[in-house]
Amino acid sequence: DGGITQSPKYLFRKEGQNVTLSCEQNLNHDAMYWYRQDPGQGLRLIYYSQIVNDFQKGDIAEGYSVSREKKESFPLTVTSAQKNPTAFYLCASSTWTGDTDTQYFGPGTRLTVL
Amino acid sequence: GENVEQHPSTLSVQEGDSAVIKCTYSDSASNYFPWYKQELGKRPQLIIDIRSNVGEKKDQRIAVTLNKTAKHFSLHITETQPEDSAVYFCAATISADGLTFGKGTHLIIQP
């Protein structure tokens, strides 16, 4: 887990503003993921990427965008189109070897819209 | 897409007793089933996982069972201790696709 970092830990945004959450990993993992967690709820998949320069929408992609220009980095942009962005955002990565698909999570970013 | 149901939402057990959390999934193609433990304000931590070619896996006080025919899997914690108190999530996926999580079980260990 120590090989996945997210920044910032806390983020405050005004309505109508876009904001970008950082996720970096030094584990040499091929796959990276973004999840959203609301209070008292499970995690929901926003986007994922199995290889550089390629990514797929998850269950709740509307109002979010991502890029995967480097293997180590998978930033998430929360756009003004996201109607209810206040949540805990978790990034994860995995090796995707076929034998083990364990996803390791970063420490998370707590986003609050003011 | 995949749908994962998890029960119960809250489970209170006496210290030293066993705890069982159950999950069902909908997509028969799912082949990887991890369990995560999450403490308040922290990231989820993997505690055990199982693949679809295995029926049971054990790691000390924790075990997971999988019934592919019925499409359900369960987490068993024996000899519960105060530090086991947390929220537990089951999940399912196909290989490197994103995980589909259950809504979580708040496990409370009573002294």
Helix/strand/coil for B108:
strand
Answer yes or no: is pLDDT of B40 > 60: yes
**Mean per-residue pLDDT for B76-99?**
94
Partner residue facing A45 (CB), from B43, B99, B103: B99
Instruction: Give yes or no for residue A1 having a pLDDT over 90.
Output: no
Write the pLDDT tens digit of every residue in A4-42: 999 999 999 998 899 999 999 999 999 999 999 998 888
Mean pLDDT of A101-108: 91
Largest CA distance in chain B: 41
Is the CB of residue A106 less than 8 Å away from at least one CB of chain B?
A: yes
Tell me the average pLDDT across B9-38: 96
For residue B52, name the pLDDT band (cuts at 50, 70, 90).
Answer: confident
The whole-number average pLDDT for the span B30-35 is 94
The answer to whether B96 contacts A43, with C-beta atoms less than 8 Å apart, is no
Residue A90 confidence (pLDDT) above 90: yes
Cβ atoms of A45 and B100 closer than 8 Å:
yes
Least CB–CB distance from B43: residue in A90, A94, A98: A90
| DSSP tag of B93 | B
Q: What is the pLDDT of residue A100?
A: 63
Report whether pLDDT(A47) > 60: yes
Q: Which of A41, A48, A105 minimises the CB distance to B44?
A: A105
Residue reference for tokens 């196909």: B94
- Give the containing element (helix H, strand E) for B36: strand B32-38
CB B88 within 8 A of CB B37: yes
Contact B55, B34 (CB under 8 A): no
Residue A84 burial (C-beta neighbours within 10 Å; 0-12, 13-18, 19+):
exposed
Mean pLDDT across the stretch A70-95?
94
3-class DSSP state for residue B83?
helix
The alpha carbon of A33 is separated from its chain's Cα centroid by a whole number of angstroms, namely 6
For the beta sheet containing A76-78, the strands, ordered from the edge strand earlier in sequence to the opposite edge, are A4-7, A19-25, A76-78, A64-66
- Listed residue (A39, A33, A74) closest to A53, CA to CA: A74
φ, ψ of residue B91 in degrees (nearest 5): -155, 160
Question: Does the beta-carbon distance from A103 to B46 stay under 8 Å?
Answer: yes
Which of A8-17, A98-107, B5-14, B51-60 reaches the highest mean pLDDT?
B5-14
Contact between residue A76 and residue A69 where contact means Cβ atoms under 8 Å apart? no
The rounded mean pLDDT for chain A is 92
Q: Which residue of A has its CA nearest to B10?
A: A40
